[in-house]
Amino acid sequence: MQPPMKSSRSEFIMLRGLRTHVRHWGAEDAPKLFMLHGWMDVSASFQFVVDCFTRDWHVIAPDWRGFGLTQRAASDCYWFADYLGDLDALLHHYAPDAPVQLLGHSMGGNVAGIYAGVRPERISHFVNLEGFGLPLTRPEQAPARYAKWLDELREPPLMRAYPNKEAVAARLVKTNPRISASRADFLAGHWAAPNAEGEWEILGDPAHKITSATLYRTEEVMACWSAITAPVLWVEAADTDVWRWMGPKEVARLEIDRRREHIPQLRCEVIQDAGHMLHHDQPEALAELIEGFLP
């Protein structure tokens, strides 16, 4: 049985020149917990975990630039470092004087992990949900990567439209068969919206799909992880499909284990019967882990 749904409220603030949507749950004077969603996701994605919390929290969850209800960047592509800048501005806005408790899923976990090493004094506790990073790259891949980026700038990607909300929900279920119909219906109403023609469009700037011009420099990221001073809760899903983009499972497993060894204060947990969207699949188990980790 699913717990009652807790109400959230929306706020719009200016961050680095963009009108940014921030979703809040809980009382303003409750302990703050910042939650960062992943690529092609939205802040409402954390609703089910928030519903399962047994303690009082003021959850603060932004929509990243170009996602959800946040303004799209006035650019033809997105740069990863801008997420760090947006996070820094967000924390300065809501918690300028104290270290914060930070959670990130997937891309949000990657952003948060780097930030926690760059500004270690700003983070008291960090929860990383499947924020493994990207596949290893080699310098000799750079020419082809730049060429691909240039080609995609000439022919920008498009975002598929859906005939109605039900089709959006069906798409969510197809991607994640574990999600219930009611939760898929809820997410569909936040993940997409009707356009002028009556079709439902994903609330994500298609420019996010353009290949990054620069390679993922793993050792630079690991240097940031090594500088993290906060305790870190690392949560994986037992049935994660990270292998789709990290390479063969056995090789990727060794690489992920190598990477997380760089984090000084690390606690690792695995949630059973869950995929990459573990906050949708097992929100009760995840909420219990989070609240058992945070002071």
Alpha carbon 233 to its chain's center = 15
Lowest mean pLDDT among 33-37, 44-48, 157-161, 289-293: 157-161
pLDDT by residue (tens digit) across 3-37? 899 999 999 999 999 999 999 999 999 999 999 99
Domain coordinates of the chain in residue numbers?
A: 8-137+217-293
Looking at residue 246, its pLDDT comes to: 86
Please tell me the distance from the alpha carbon of residue 177 to that of residue 171, in angstroms, as a whole number.
10
**112 — pLDDT class (breaks 50, 70, 90):** very high
Looking at residue 199, its pLDDT comes to: 95
> What is the mean pLDDT of the segment spanning 71-83?
96
Rg (CA), the chain: 19
Looking at residue 132, its pLDDT comes to: 96
> What is the mean pLDDT of the segment spanning 277-291?
98
**223 — pLDDT class (breaks 50, 70, 90):** very high
pLDDT by residue (tens digit) across 133-190? 999 999 999 999 999 999 999 998 998 999 999 999 999 999 999 999 999 999 999 9
Lowest mean pLDDT among 78-82, 241-245, 278-282: 241-245
pLDDT by residue (tens digit) across 229-269? 999 999 999 999 888 888 888 999 999 999 999 999 999 99
Looking at residue 274, its pLDDT comes to: 97
The answer to whether residue 1 scores a pLDDT higher than 80 is: no
Domain covering 8-137+217-293 assigned CATH 3.90.1150.10 in the classification: no
Amino acid at 203: L
Tell me the two tokens of residue 114.
């780097």
The answer to whether residue 212 scores a pLDDT higher than 80 is: yes
